[in-house]
Structure 1
Amino acid sequence: MLCFTRQDPRVLEELGDLNPLRLANPSPQPGRERLRHLVIGSPEGVRATINLLHVLRYADQATWSQLITIPEPGILITPEQGEVFSLLRRDRPVD
């Protein structure tokens, strides 16, 4: 389950026992825009994608967070006002 909502505390009240995971989002450097990338899949698939992005020189492996297990109720994403998102779904071969 993915929920995309504005930051409204009433939404969390409606969701009951859902205790969303909050990640630090420090301000970007001046003259830069903050983009957030999510890779969701099996641990092997996420690691393989992080490694590929490193090989392509897009993102250093050390800049990614540790792997975070998605809890049973799912995740809640709260964008900043005016932000948009695009979702890419892609299959990868499994060994």
Structure 2
Amino acid sequence: MNKTELVETIAQRTDIAKKDVQSVLDTFEDIAGEIVAKGKDSLTIPGFLKFEQTHRAARTGRNPQTGETIQVPAANAAKVTAGAKLKNRAKTGS
């Protein structure tokens, strides 16, 4: 399911206009992005998802084509963790 399909599904299930659903999802993306970019806090939807920034230390890697060793610099990255309710739904299929 892509974002357009998600907007349509939410609109149908809630009787909210598509443009309003789209606006809410866009705002959610903005807020989650701001929180992850700052790196101080995390955004948690209890039992569902947690969005946070993580730090990856510098390391030595290897080019798979040539076998040459390369230095991979330290970097910040986004981390999304599934909550217990989401994991349970994935296990049970419902």
**TM superposition score normalised by structure 1:** 0.26
Structure with the greater alpha carbon radius of gyration? 2
Higher percent of residues as strand = 2
Highest relative contact order (Cα 8 Å, sep 6+), 1 or 2? 1
Higher percent of residues as helix = 2
